[in-house]
Each structure stands twice: as C-alpha cells, then as structure tokens.
Amino acid sequence: MTSTTEGQGPASGLDPAIAARLKRGADGLIPAVAQQYDTGEVLMLGWMDDEALHRTLTTGRATYWSRSRREYWVKGDTSGHVQHVRSVALDCDADTVLVKVDQVGAACHTGDRTCFDAGVLRPSTPTRGPAAD
C-alpha cells in the first residue's frame, strides 16, 4: 500500500494487513502518542503516515512525519534524544497508535523531559465519573 498523504515520499512498506486497519485523517496521518515504557509517563504526540509507522516497526526507532517541514524525522537523529521503541499498539478505533519507548534525554523540542509539563488544565466543574464518548 502506498502512503496516503500526498507528497510524503516513497510507497510504504507497511504490512497491508496493518495498513487496512488504520483510520487516517484527511491528511493521511494518525496521531502517535509516545509513552515511557516503564513509568507510563506520556512524553509527546507526533504524527505518522504508513511509511513512518513502517519505519518505526522495522527499525526500532520512533519515526514521525513533520507536518511543518513535510519530511520524516527519526527522534534523536539531530538531538541525540533517541526513542528506542519497545512496543506499538493500535487503539480500539484504529485511529491512534501508542508507541511505548525507552526515551534517552528530553522528548520535547524545548529540552524538557515531556511535552506535557507546561501546566495542568483543570475543569471548571468537577466531573462525576468517566464520560462515554
């Protein structure tokens, strides 16, 4: 199966059985949540197309599609802050992947360990349990 995002590069080597399960956005991308494998810490959100997912699965290094630069990037190639992939799971709706990694150094482009440490947003009213979506 080829990449579904126009202009992103070569045809993908992603297993057709996996590719058939994915529910991509209009741009051909799926969100990829990176999580520290042993602590559960959520590190960052990136974007993948079929080829980025294929590269992630086959190389053991987290590979993303940069929407701003319009190119693939392997986490840590320039910064040294590598993500060694431990597992990849597809969510129940097949529209998001969870990439469990062993993060070396900072995950965030700001130099912070996680992209999710800028402050907690609190709801204006207390919630009364899990909401069904």
User: pLDDT tens digits, residue range 69-123?
Assistant: 999 999 999 999 999 999 999 999 999 999 999 999 999 999 999 999 888 888 8
User: What's the pLDDT at 120?
Assistant: 82
What confidence tens digit (pLDDT) does each residue in 5-16 have?
444 445 789 999
What confidence tens digit (pLDDT) does each residue in 17-65 have?
999 999 999 999 999 999 999 999 999 999 999 999 999 999 999 999 9
| 3-state SS record for the chain | CCCCCCCCCCCCCCCHHHHHHCCCCCCCCEEEEEEECCCCCEEEEEEECHHHHHHHHHHCECEEEECCCCEEEECCCCCCCCEEEEEEEECCCCCCEEEEEEECCCCCCCCCCCCCCCCCCCCCCCCCCCCCC
User: What's the pLDDT at 91?
Assistant: 97
